[in-house]
Structure formats: structure tokens, C-alpha cells
Structure 1
Amino acid sequence: MKIRTLIKILLLITGGLCVLSTILQNPAIELYSKPMTVPLFFMLYWFNVKKVDTLFVIVLFLCFMGDIFLLTGIENGFRYVLLSYTLCYFILFYFLFKNHKPLDYGKIDLIYLGVFFIVWTIIVYEIYAVTNEAMGDIRPFGIVYIIILYFLLIGAVFQYVNIRSPKSLWFAIAVLNFIISDTCFALDKFYVPSLELKIINSIYQLLAVFFLVKFKISSANSLKIKTQQFV
């Protein structure tokens, strides 16, 4: 069995335990299984690219710390969660700008992007409208967090339509999964507590990091191809 296949199997097991923890409403399972996913995601990345991107490792660490702050229930933990993921998303903006290419949209592209922009703006406003009052004293942090995610998905989608490369696709999917996860978490915490929302959050949170790893692997593969072309 290839090491990468083994890592994926272990990720399925640990990820399944995290989701099972949510279903059974037993945080202790996730508290012990979630830390295992971080080195596994790193190993999946490492065995594919054979090098370390410091910023990407920081992103993995920030995602892990955000989860730990929630699971341990420390005082003001939710503020630290927002801070961890805010820093994570700022780094994703760096990856977004790093992969920027000159804009080259056709008329159909502009129509699709226009529809996406309007729909996405309405969705974000509705999420804010139903969670705004319940945020209480963390509302300023919540608003900044929502704005960051709002522009991050716009950037990711606009970049994919412009480039249409595998790495831009994986990046857009990763950002979308982060947003689905965060939206379910916000709705569960500030609007309607729901086990279903907790389960969806747990699933998409893991998928977001997995697709982010796929993005970094695709980025490394693209660089290898370009290097070989010039040799």
C-alpha cells in the first residue's frame, strides 16, 4: 500500500471520528481525534511535494488552534477562534494574489460573474441579518470576519473563471467549504441551534482543509511542469 493511500485512509478514520463525535454530542472523541488530522494533512502535503511552505504550515496550525479553542472551552475562546481563522484567511488572500493573472473575461464570463456577485451578496446579507443581534459584544469581530469571507470567495471565484486551472479550482472549492462550515457554525450558535448544522460544519471543516492541501499539491505540480518545460 502506498504511503499516500495509507494517509488518506487514516484521514478518513480520524475525520469520521470527528463527525461521529458531533453526532453523538461527545466532544471528548473529537478532542483526541482532531489533533491527529493535522499531522496527517501535513504528511499528505509533504509526500506529494517534498518541500515545506511555511505559510501553508501556519494555515494548518491556525485551523488546528481554532478547533482546539472551541473544544477546550477556555475563557473568551470564541474570540481566539475568530482571531485564528481571520489570520488564516488573510494568508489565503496572499495565496490568491500570488496566483493572480491578467484579467481575460469573455461576455458570458461577465454575465455569470455578475449573477454570482448579486446572489452571493444577498446570501451574505441574509446571514448577517439573522445572526447580527445574537452576536452581542463580539459583533465588530463578526462583521469583520463576514467581510473577509465575502471578499475571499469573490476573489477565489473570479480567479477561477479567469484562469480555469486545477489549482484555482481547488482553491475556490476550499474557500467555499470554509464558508459553508463557518456559516453552519454561525447559524447554529447565533440563530437556530441544530445538530444537523453541527454535523455539516464538522464535515465541511475537514473538507476545506483537504481541498486546501489539494490546492498546494496542484501548485507544486504546476511549478514542476513549468520547470521541466524550460529545461
Structure 2
Amino acid sequence: MKTNTPSLFFYFIACALVVFFKITEDDSLVLYTKSIIVPLIFMYYLITNNYKINWTKGLVFLFCFIGDIFNLLQFNDSGLGALLSFMLVYVLLLKLAVDDFKYLKLNKEDCVPMLVSFFFIATICTSILSLNFERMKLDFSLYILYGITLSLLCFFSIINYLKKVNYTFFCLIVMCGCFMISDVFFVINKFYLNLYAFSFIAVFVQVFSYFFMATYFIENDRYHQRQRVKL
């Protein structure tokens, strides 16, 4: 058995429990179980990467954990704390995606897919933010900034994958897709139309997205090592 196997095994067990508790509509157990998912996937990443981690990826795990803790505590300002925590996660991930982008060489043929990707993501973001949200407690400008940050992250992930199709950028684009799906259904369920199906999809996609995030980090480290060797 590999040394990273137990942490990955317990991560998937925790994800399965979150899904089970969500099906049984035990929201308190969902929140408690979700709070251990990030530490488990962090241990998997750390062990797999031979206990090496840079500050950007370390902060991503930290703010993911803090965001889940804010949701768990559920005090008056927990919504603001969770939103700012996950927005910082997206800012840090955007930095990584842009760093990857710098290694790619673009040409005139890339203009069309870039414009299509930008239009597609902008349409989704604008459509969601233009809904008539009546139960928002925070300043709407925070959600606009949050949406722009996530949209930029998704844009660069798509461009990276289209320009260089590999496993690293595949994990990046799946991770970003999961984040967008989770956030879209979370916002619609919480502020626009409260349906159990929306809440279930948001939770289900979010907990499994962390696996793709950790895998992207692992492959990203290996990718940059290969780039340094070539230089």
C-alpha cells in the first residue's frame, strides 16, 4: 500500500458520507463531515508530493478549510467570511493558472477559441448575476467581484487546456468546472429558488472537486519541474 492511499481512501469515505447525510437531509452532519474533507485531501497531496508545498498551494488549502469552517459555525458574519475565503482561493488558483499560461506560446489561430471561451463564460456569469436575488444579505458588489474572479479562472483554465492538452490542464479545467457548477447551484438555491436538487448538486460537486484540485496541484508541480529541466 502506498503511503498516500489511506488519506485518499478516507477522503472518498468522507465524501460518500456527505452525500449520504445530504440524501437523508441531515444538514448538521453534512457540515461536520465536510469540515474534515479538506484536511484529508491536503494530507493526500502533501504525502504524494513528498511533503513539499509552496505558499500559494498551502494558502489554497488553508482558505478552503477556513471557508468550510465559516459555513459550519453559521454565525451572523459567516456568509461574508465564507465568501471572502473562497474568493481568495480563486485568486490564488488564478495566479497558478496564469503562471501556467505564461509557458504557452499563442498565435493568431488561438484568437477564435479565446473569444468563444470568453463569451461563453461571460454569458453564464452575467445570466446568473442578472437574476432577481431577493434574499441576499451581503453587498451585491461582492458577488460581482466573486463572479469575475471565478470567470477569469475558468477562462484561463479553458485556454490552457485548448492550447496544451494534457492531464495537468484536464484536472484544472474539471476543477474549475466543478467550482462553477457548485457555486451556480448554491447561489440559485440560496437566493433565488430553493430546491433540494440544487442544494444536493452544489454539495455533491463541491466535495469531489477537491480531488481534482489536489491532482492538479500534483501534476502542476511535475509539469513545472519538466519545464525547468527543458530550460
Relative to the length of structure 2, the TM-score reads 0.88
Q: Gaps (5+ residues) in structure 1?
A: none
**What are structure 2's unaligned runs of at least 5 residues?**
none
Give the match for residue 12 of structure 1.
12
2:150 corresponds in structure 1 to 149
Aligned-residue offset at 1:5: 3.0
- CA distance in 1: counterparts of 2:53 and 2:36, whole angstroms: 19
Following superposition, the deviation at residue 154 of structure 1 comes to: 1.0
Secondary structure of 1:135's partner?
coil
Separation (CA, whole Å) in 1 of partners of 2:193 and 2:148:
22
8 Å CA contact retained: 1:159, 1:168: yes
| Separation of aligned partners in 2, 1:65 and 1:122 | 30
| Cα-to-partner distance string for 1:49-103 (whole Å, 9 max, x where unaligned) | 1112232122112112212212221112111111101111111121122222243
Q: d(CA) in 1 for partners of 2:114 and 2:194?
A: 33
Q: Which residue does 2:45 correspond to in 1?
A: 45
**Helix, strand or coil at the partner of 2:193:** coil
Mapped partners of 1:178, 1:124: distance in 2? 13
How far is the alpha carbon of 1:48 from its aligned partner? 1.4
2:198 counterpart letter in structure 1: L
1:189 corresponding residue in structure 2: 190
User: Within 5 A, what are the aligned runs for 1:152-231?
Assistant: 152-225=153-226
What per-residue deviation string (whole Å, max 9, x for no partner) do you get for residues 118-145 of structure 1? Answer: 2222221111111545435421111111
Separation of aligned partners in 2, 1:81 and 1:137: 12
Q: 1:102 to 1:157 in 2, by over 3 A?
A: same
For residues 4 and 223 of structure 1, the distance between their equivalents in structure 2, rounded to whole angstroms, comes to 22
CA contact (8 A) 2:64 2:85 kept: yes
Return the alpha-carbon distance in structure 2 between the equivalents of residues 28 and 136 of structure 1. Answer: 22
Q: Which amino acid aligns with 1:167?
A: T
For the aligned residue pairs, the C-alpha RMSD in angstroms reads 2.2
In structure 2, distance between residues paired with 1:111 and 1:98:
22
Matched, 1:101 2:106: no
CA contact (8 A) 1:66 1:82 kept: yes
Q: Which moved more, 1:129-138 or 1:72-81?
A: 129-138
Q: What's the TM-score, normalizing by structure 1?
A: 0.88
Letter of the 1:217 partner, please give it.
Answer: I
Kindly indicate whether the alpha-carbon contact (under 8 Å) linking 1:131 and 1:186 is maintained by their aligned counterparts in 2: no
Deviation at 1:24, TM superposition (A): 2.0
In structure 1, distance between residues paired with 2:46 and 2:166: 22
**Contact kept in structure 1, 2:15 and 2:208, CA below 8 Å:** no
Return closer, same or farther for 1:96/1:71 CA change in 2, 3 Å cut-off: same
Deviation at 1:112, TM superposition (A): 3.6
Q: Does 1:129 align with 2:130?
A: yes
Relative distance call for 1:207 and 1:105 in structure 2 (3 A) is farther
Task: Report the number of matched residues.
Answer: 229
Using the TM superposition, give the Cα deviation of residue 21 of structure 1 relative to its aligned residue in structure 2, in angstroms: 2.3
- Structure (1 or 2) with the greater helix fraction: 1
The answer to whether the 8 A contact 2:185-2:201 is kept is yes
Return the letter of the residue paired with 2:149. I
SS at match of 2:98: helix
- Work out whether residues 156 and 175 of structure 1, in 8 Å CA contact, stay in contact via their aligned partners in 2: yes
